[in-house]
Structure 1
């Protein structure tokens, strides 16, 4: 079918705006870019964690320890506003997580169920139940609801549960305090004027955008383009979270370094060797026995302070290339979940990072 108004400028969204309003169009671009990058980075994190869990299971099986343990990742989402829905679609499209291992807690579960694009995803309103079950818990609630949500989650979160926050109004230090939990990861995006920012306008259909190699490249955390940047501290905190997962599993420091390196090497054979002093101070590394686990790392500190890992990655170009290559590889791979076309994210309203 031919679109009769396709070439008529007077029918475009921008045509009805005043000059003053047109100056704010960059906010529409930024919102689309934030939504895409937020979902892409969340998927990347989930795939890294899942890969590590599978390798830990295989390692334990070889050592005849807990060989029957389940490596499947349990993912919870609190909030089914804009960001919660976009994240759900992204996880189903790109993460290969079984839908039965994704659960949602929302204030209106009955209406949320109608927008879930595949069977198996459970939806209810019980934040405490979700916190006790999840390995990764995404906070996609409104800032005005966050205090109540944190009250629900406080003392309910397992030490192993990685909380990932999309609530931009609350810094990670305050969030960790409200939750009484230091295993919290929060992306901190920065913005700058850029001639290529309009590329994010093609992210209207999120599930289609997640297959676009140009957009995947533009969202690569260490080399982001399009006027949005994330910085090295997020990537450092993500790698520290992998180390914490190994610590929680009781792995010695030598095994932890080997398995984290294996996760990266699966996608990039030129992985730089990781050493204990890549993650902790020289004094701590020198006193750390190979069979002794790494100390538990506060992700709050990893995102707010200068760390050995930040210094290592900042000065090591091959490691930066490795992490970027791993990101592109994991985001370019597809899963087998089939999303019904009617549930694609193809509305024309701007998409925002917060629900």
Structure 2
């Protein structure tokens, strides 16, 4: 049916705004950028973890042990992330749980097989990857509830703003925490890049939007701290360590995953520590993801200078989203 109002500017969002209000319209673009970019990056991080888990299972000759993913909090951010994970990644509903105060409102997820309940401790005990999507005002209590129930190998990925990473790590008493840090730069086309679509799923089908959200080369006014990439890669390393995979096998799997030969012992840890790994049957030490996001590391340097690795990460990022359907 023809929409007769489609081109009537008098009915547009900005038509009823005063001059002072129009100066704040750019915030819509920033909000959309954070939503689309944040969900896309979380999906990409999950997909890398999932791909490596499959390789580790095959290496160990283990039965298929899929990553168990939990979303804690199902407000607007939690629902958007859940939708993106189910629609854009390889995650299957029976490997996905959501804990929220009102699970009865999540029929669209429970009907496809996602377990929805209100039990944060249960979720923390179960999940291999836990996405925190709660309000800052709720965070202290949520962390107090779950901190003693997170496994050492559980990766916590925070969508909660206004709480610094170090504070979050203390509240959780957990070092395997990723909190992406975004910033903004002046950009005249910020709205055009991020406001093309009203729905997250349609935005993630748009090549221009995906290009704008590339973690290593974001544009449209938004940028991502590059240490996020290092933290995700260290998260992959820790996954291998948690599965008792020897350092030599770990390097082989990581190089195979990214089709590179760039990863060595010295890529991940400093030279004195790397020299201690004389035996490829030894395990890598456990890496604090909090520290990896607080300072430059050998891996930060590699990512910044190795074009082949950067190109591979970009290709893999693009490959996650093309088949997303409405």
TM-score category of the 2 structures, normalised to the smaller one: over 0.9
Q: Aligned runs of 1:178-217 on 2, under 5 Å?
A: 178-198=171-191, 199-217=193-211
- Are residue 28 (structure 1) and residue 28 (structure 2) matched? yes
RMSD of aligned alpha carbons: 1.4
Aligned counterparts of 2:222 and 2:288: Cα–Cα separation in 1 = 26
Contact 1:233/1:302 (CA < 8 Å) preserved in 2? yes
- Who is 1:278 aligned against? 267
The answer on whether the counterparts of 2:72 and 2:133 sit within 8 Å (CA) in structure 1 is yes
**1:251-306 deviations in whole A, cap 9, x for unaligned?**
111111111122222xxxxx342111011111111221211011000000000011
Partner of 2:39: 39
The 1-side partners of 2:43 and 2:285 are apart by 27
Structure 1 residue 117: Cα displacement = 7.4
Q: What is residue 106 of structure 1 aligned with on the other side?
A: 100
Q: Distance in 2 between matches of 1:95 and 1:118?
A: 19
CA distance in 2, matches of 1:31, 1:218: 14
Q: Which residue number corresponds to residue 227 of structure 1?
A: 221
For 1:37 and 1:145, how far apart are their aligned partners in 2? Answer: 24
Matching residue within 283, 301, 319 for 1:293:
283
The normalised TM-score by structure 1 is 0.88
Following the alignment from structure 1 to structure 2, what is the Cα–Cα distance between the partners of residues 167 and 105? 15
Q: 2:157 aligns with which of 164, 186, 190?
A: 164
Deviations 1:159-187 (A, max 9, x none): 11100000111111110100011000010
Structure having greater relative contact order (Cα 8 Å, sep ≥ 6) = 1
Residues 280 and 150 (structure 1 numbering): CA distance in 2 closer, same or farther, change over 3 Å? Answer: same
Structure 1 CA distance for aligned equivalents of residues 110 and 211 of structure 2: 27
C-alpha displacement of 1:319: 2.1
Contact 2:68 2:129 in 1 (8 A): yes
* 1:89–1:117 contact (8 Å) kept in structure 2: no
CA contact (8 A) 2:120 2:146 kept: yes
Quote the Cα distance in structure 2 between the aligned partners of 1:26 and 1:151: 37
Residue 264 (structure 1) aligns with? 258
Deviation readout 1:118-141 (Å, 9 max, x if unpaired): 520111110000000001000001
Report whether the alignment pairs 1:6 with 2:13. Answer: no
State the shift of 1:157 in Å: 0.1
Q: TM-score, normalised by structure 2?
A: 0.96
* Equivalences for residues 53-132 of structure 1 within 5 A: 53-61=53-61, 67-68=62-63, 70-111=64-105, 113-116=106-109, 118-132=111-125
The gaps in structure 2 that reach 5 residues or longer are: none
Q: Map 1:129-148 to 2 at 5 A.
A: 129-148=122-141
* Separation (CA, whole Å) in 2 of partners of 1:187 and 1:331: 20
1:155 aligns with 2:145: no
For the 8 Å contact 2:110–2:116, the answer to whether it is kept is: no
Partner residue in 2 for 1:306: 296
In 2, are the aligned partners of 1:104 and 1:124 still within 8 Å (CA)? yes
| Count of paired positions | 324
Contact persistence 2:180–2:225 (CA under 8 A): no
